[in-house]
Structure formats: structure tokens, C-alpha cells
A = this chain, B = another copy of it.
Amino acid sequence: MKQSLSFVTLGVGDLDAARRFYRDGLGWTPTLDIDEVVFFQVAPGVVLALWGADDLAGDVGAGPAQHGTAVALACNVESAEEVHAAVERWRAAGGEVLKEPAPTTHFGGMQAYVADPEGFRWEIAWNPGWEVGADGTVRFA
């Protein structure tokens, strides 16, 4: 399993308030700023995403958010095969598989959700439109 973080997604109750806070209040520059989601690059290759808590919970598809589960970390890999391999490694390590690898309509790739022994959720994703430049800048094709 790749030792890598690509996204931290905060599942928020009021997306517009959260958007205004980070973008206008703190003065951050979005990589993507559309009705349903906001992305801020916060480290080389790493995006902080603000997304509706219900949208995030629906994407995971594993019941209501509990303690700590309004946050999802994400590890992006290079192919659909790597998604499967990462999920199998996660399962072998004793982690829970919340959503088996499946094609996603969000970004035309492959996605799975897993949870560590404490219930912290990770998305394992292959997104053919997601690129990290040599300088670490994230781009969405």
C-alpha cells in the first residue's frame, strides 16, 4: 500500500460558509471552486477538499458519519489494478473495506473506501484526470 496522502476531505454541513471561510476569510486560492465542492492545494500533490457531509457520506455509502468519520483521507494511485491491490493489502492488514473498488462517475476512474482499525476512512482512487506536476502542483485534466 503506497505510503501517500493525496486529499483530505472535510465533510461540512454548510459548504458555502466553509468556502467563504477558507477562500475569503483566510485568503486561500482554490484549485477548483464549483457549486458542489472546493479544492485547495495545501502541500505538493495534496488537496484539502470541502464537500457536503451528506455527499461524502453518500460517496462512502457506509452509513452515517460517526466519531471522526466526517473526514476522509485519500491516496491516489496510478491504475485500476493498483486500486484493487491497495484494497487487498488493506484487507490483509485487518482493515475494513467499506466500498469495494468500482468505477466512479465523479471522475471516470476507479474508487474504493476503506477504514483503519479506528474507523478513519481512506479513499483509494485512480483518477485518470488527476496529475501532479514535477513541482508538486495538482492539476485536473
Contact = CB atoms under 8 A, between A and B. Distances in A.
A43 B138 CA distance: 13
A95 interface: yes
A40 B71 contact: no
Contacts of A68: 10-11, 65, 68-71
Interface residues of A, number: 47
Contact of A93 (B26, B41, B42, B48): B26
Nearest to A40: B3
- The binding surface of chain A is classed by DSSP as loop
Interface of A: 1, 3-6, 8, 10-14, 17-18, 21-22, 24-29, 40-46, 48, 65, 67-71, 73, 89-90, 92-95, 116-118, 120, 136
Given A5-B46, A28-B3, A116 B21 contact: yes
Contacts of A6: 43
